[in-house]
């Protein structure tokens, strides 16, 4: 019985390799916390970004893959941090009504910039925080508030008193033309850079 099970396992692995070879695809290569992505992985990511509710079977039918293959690849991309989480994109105006969005440029003391950024990240009004280096070190934050008065109070009572903040410049957003997160291209096969394998280490792309 033991010999039979060993043979069955080897045969299953062999058949899997043959299947990939016939389809012109290869399994994900994973070593420790590193993961090599190929065009099939990018297409799976594209399908998930279009609608994360797609089942493994639906994605498999779309890409010509077995649902077990889709499952394995997604789980490996999750474990390596390529897929960070699944979430819902909410229209803030429909939930909270009309609100005010502003882009804040905060000039800081270089020694305190990281602490300022960390404090901003803790504020629920702040959606995004970045650092920028031009002539001076800047922290750029995207902020949302119910109205101009609440925005002013947030800046005056929360941001301005932070140690290391030198001055603040605020720009009000008057019209939104596009708002989206990182997205895979519509047709990865037409982009040469995606035709090359991409290796990810601990969730970060290797250069």
One domain for residues 116 and 80: no
Four-residue CA torsion sign, 84, 87, 91, 94? negative
Q: How far apart are the first and last CA of the chain?
A: 48
Q: Which of 10-19, 25-34, 53-62, 191-200 has the lowest mean pLDDT?
A: 10-19
CATH number of the domain that residue 142 is part of = 3.30.70.920
Indicate whether 52 belongs to any domain. Answer: yes
CATH number of the domain that residue 31 is part of = 1.10.10.10
- Rounded to an integer, the average pLDDT of 26-37 is 58
What is the rounded distance in angstroms from the CA atom of residue 131 to the CA atom of residue 117? 8
The predicted structure's pLDDT at residue 166: 93
Indicate whether 57 belongs to any domain. Answer: yes
One domain for residues 6 and 69: yes
The predicted structure's pLDDT at residue 94: 73
Cβ pair 170, 104 in contact under 8 A:
yes
- Whole-model pTM: value is 0.58
Q: Is the pLDDT of residue 135 over 80?
A: no
Average pLDDT along the chain: 76
Looking at the structure of the chain, the number of domains it has is: 2
What is the rounded distance in angstroms from the CA atom of residue 56 to the CA atom of residue 74? 9
Beta bridge partner(s), residue 144? 101
**pLDDT tens column, 146-188:** 899 999 999 999 999 999 999 999 999 988 887 776 666 554 4
**pLDDT tens column, 69-78:** 999 999 999 9
Complete edge-to-edge strand list for the sheet that includes strand 126-133: 126-133, 137-145, 100-108, 165-172
Indicate whether 184 belongs to any domain. Answer: no
Could you list the residue range(s) of the whole structural domain that residue 167 is in?
99-172
One domain for residues 77 and 118: no
């Amino acid at each position: 019985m033991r010999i039979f099970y060993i043979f069955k396992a080897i045969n299953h692995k062999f058949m899997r390799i043959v299947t990939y070879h016939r389809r012109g695809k290869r399994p994900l290569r994973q070593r420790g916390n590193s993961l090599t992505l190929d065009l099939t992985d990018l297409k799976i990511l594209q399908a998930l970004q279009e609608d994360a509710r797609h089942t493994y079977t639906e994605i498999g039918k779309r890409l010509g893959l077995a649902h077990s293959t889709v499952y394995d690849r997604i789980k490996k991309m999750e474990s390596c941090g390529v897929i960070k989480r699944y979430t819902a994109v909410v229209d803030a105006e429909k939930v909270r009504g009309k609100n005010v969005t502003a882009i804040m440029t905060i000039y800081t003391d270089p020694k305190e910039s990281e602490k300022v950024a960390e404090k901003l990240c803790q504020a629920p009004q702040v959606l995004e925080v970045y650092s920028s280096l031009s002539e001076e070190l800047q922290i750029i934050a995207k902020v949302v508030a119910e109205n101009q008065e609440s925005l002013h109070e947030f800046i005056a009572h929360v941001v301005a008193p932070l140690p290391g903040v030198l001055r603040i410049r605020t720009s009000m957003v008057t019209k939104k033309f596009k708002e989206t997160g990182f997205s895979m291209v519509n047709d990865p096969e037409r982009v040469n850079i995606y035709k090359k394998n991409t290796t990810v280490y601990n969730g970060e792309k290797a250069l």
